Amino acid sequence: MYQMILKFWFEEIDHSQWWSKNDEFDQRMRERFAEIHAQAIRCELFSWRKEAEGRLAEIIVLDQFSRKMFRVRILINLNSDSCRT
């Protein structure tokens, strides 16, 4: 399954999408990868770590996919944290 993540990230999308904000793209990512992201958060993708490519895919899901899929929530949390200090 991790091959699907790598194919999407490195072949299916243009690299410019890594850095750009696009609400439609973010929504498509949520629709396509929400369950895989939830599995990663619950540490259910541990078997991916047997291969270097699987580890990379898990990092992409947890880091980059999180940023794209939950962009608004991340900003809200950052703002909330800064208001408390």
Residue pLDDT, tens place only, 32-71: 999 999 999 999 999 999 999 999 999 999 999 988 888 7
Res 83: pLDDT: 42
- Is residue 10 situated within a structural domain? no
Q: Is residue 15 part of a domain?
A: no
In this structure, is residue 76 part of a structural domain? yes
User: Do 37 and 66 contact (CB within 8 A), yes or no?
Assistant: yes
Does a structural domain hold residue 79? yes
**Inter-residue contact 34 to 69 (CB < 8 Å):** yes
Q: What is the pTM of this model?
A: 0.80
> Which regions of 11-67 does DSSP assign to beta strands (E)?
none
Please identify which residue in the block is written with the tokens 């800064």.
82
Residue 68 to residue 20: CA distance in whole angstroms: 9
What is the tally of structural domains in the chain?
1
